[in-house]
Amino acid sequence: MKSKQNLQLVRPALDIEAIRQDFPVLHQAIRGKPLVYLDNAASTQKPRAVIQAVKDFYEKDYSNIHRGVHTLSERATIAYESARNEVAHFLNAKSEKEIVFVRGATEAINLVSQSWGKKFLKAGDEVLISHMEHHANIVPWQLLREQIGIELKVIPITDQGELDLEAFEKLLSKKTKLLSLVHISNTLGTINPVKDCIKKAHALGIPVLIDGAQAVAHQSVDVQDLDADFYVFSSHKVFSPSGVGVLYAKEAILDSMPPYQGGGDMILTVSFEKTTYNEIPHKFEAGTPNIEGVIGLGHGIQYLKHLGLDKIKAYEEELLSKATLALKEIEGLQIIGEAKNKVSVISFVLKDIHPHDIGTLLDNEGVAVRTGHHCTMPLMKRLGLPATARASFAFYNTVEEIDALLRALEKAKKVFG
């Protein structure tokens, strides 16, 4: 631990201007103003390294994978499988067999609910989620509830936007058969103490799924250290192509799960009488996948590694505290979500101006923020708000862009004033 910190001091901090040059999309005007992209929690921009990797694949190596003996097919297969290897290292999985490629975090959770859930859960069993879940970690369990009669229990949150840990422990019981918890809230920015939660659940033999959609872009994740049974995230939120997601699951668990979809690639042999399934992870990857997207993800992860997630985290913490302080200075502005541990995601409301109007007013100044319920309607209800505006920062955002946000908000107030 100590040596790690020493290393950090020796390594130079991030050169943000140079990093910005890696992202072509950032250099443009919106309605006559320089683009200030603060919607990174919704999706992230892509560095040249990712764009080039996808382009190169199309121009030099494109083919289907796992299918042919010809050279292009072999190259495509190698590129695709080395991306799997890259993801396994990124999450510190024991083996690349534990990495299943899907369409996104959403599909990964649906896969767990439909494959693992249908096999191992029965009527009356409880799945425990929290009040700050994204719809992607609510609706799949409701579908399962309709199908087999499981129960859904919800961990309450405090007014600061943190998990109510006392209530959490009380909710864990013999009936609890899965804890499915968001690592970092996309609406509040709250970093949940998932390692502790996993430990407490495991003490009662309860497996745990962690929705890491918002986590992997902001901090390094070690699934072995967390001891997560399932961990899911989306490629598009880590500076990589959309249409790809990752399901990590412990090997023994994946092995015990029935296929999610049937088709090509997930089988060993097919006859009309009986089909035998391929090994994991291929058993869960039916049909031709998003080959170029997966390859792009491999390069996106390489890019992140090259910047260093520790440095990214330190820089983003600086942006978060500067932006938080400055926003609080704005009269009538209230920050929603004041957890002690947060990433650079800031939801807020501004007195007398509806978030949707804020979104348009800021867009006029070139500032892109998200407004609405952020796919967390139960959370919004808990907060008593129809919507919030949300500014979410990535490592390519600058202190000057915080100023641009502030100026745009002041202007919005003037228009409505």
Partner 1 sequence: MDDLRELYQEVILDHNRHPRNFSAMEGASAKAEGYNPLCGDQLTLYLKSEGDQIKDLSFQGSGCAISKASASLMTEALKGKSKQEALELFKKFHHMVTGSVGEEPDPSLGKLAVFAGVCEYPARVKCASLAWHTLKNALEGKGEVAKTEG
Q: Are 292 and 240 in contact (CB under 8 A)?
A: no
CB 149 within 8 A of CB 175: no
The reply on whether position 115 binds ligand PLP by CB under 6 A is no
Does residue 234 belong to the site contacting ligand PLP (CB under 6 A)? yes
Task: Name the site residues for partner 1 (rule: CB under 8 A).
Answer: 31, 353-357, 359-361, 364, 371-373, 380, 386-387, 411, 414-416
Nearer to ligand PLP, 134 or 177 (CB): 134
Active-site residue among 375, 383, 387, 394? 375
Extended strands (E) in 238-290 = 245-249, 267-270, 275-277
CA dihedral (222, 392, 7, 21) positive or negative: positive
Q: What is the DSSP pairing of strand 230-234 with strand 208-211?
A: parallel
208/129 Cα distance (integer angstroms): 10
Q: Answer left, alpha or beta for residue 324, where phi above 0 means left and psi between -120 and 50 means alpha.
A: alpha
The secondary element (H helix, E strand) that includes residue 316 is: helix 309-328
What sign does the CA torsion over 348, 350, 352, 358 have? negative
Of 240 and 392, nearer to partner 1 (C-beta) is 392
Instruction: Output the smallest distance, CB 356 to partner 1, in A.
Output: 4
Closer CB to partner 1, 264 or 372, in the complex: 372
Q: Choose which of 214, 290, 371, 397 interacts with ligand PLP (CB under 6 A).
A: 214
Binding at 31: pick from partner 1, ligand PLP, none (beta carbon under 5-8 Å per type):
partner 1
Site for ligand PLP in 93-112 (CB under 6 A): 104-106
Residue 210 binds which entry of partner 1, ligand PLP, none, CB below 5-8 Å type-dependent: none
Does position 290 bind ligand PLP by CB under 6 A?
Answer: no
| Burial (CB count <10 Å: 0-12, 13-18, 19+), residue 123 | exposed
Q: Exposure string (b/e) for 324-341, b if CB count within 10 Å is 16 or more?
A: bebbeebeebebbbbbee
- Catalytic residue status for 197: no
CB nearer to partner 1: pick between 70 and 351: 351
- Contact of residue 104 among partner 1, ligand PLP, none (CB under 5-8 Å per partner type): ligand PLP
By CB under 6 A, the count of residues binding ligand PLP is: 14
Task: Using CB atoms within 10 Å of the CB of residue 343, give its burial: 0 to 12 exposed, 13 to 18 middle, 19+ buried.
Answer: buried
| Contact partner, 355, from partner 1, ligand PLP, none, Cβ < 5-8 Å per class | partner 1
The amino acid present at 61, given as its one-letter code, is D
User: Of the two residues 32 and 205, which places its CB atom closer to partner 1 in the complex?
Assistant: 32
Sites for ligand PLP among residues 249-278 (CB under 6 A): none
Q: Closer CB to partner 1, residue 255 or residue 410?
A: 410
Q: Cβ 375 to ligand PLP, closest distance in Å?
A: 6
What's the distance, Cα to Cα, between the start and end of the chain in Å? 52
Residues that bind ligand PLP (CB under 6 A): 104-106, 134, 136, 182, 186, 211, 213-214, 234, 236, 245, 375
Catalytic (active-site) positions: 375
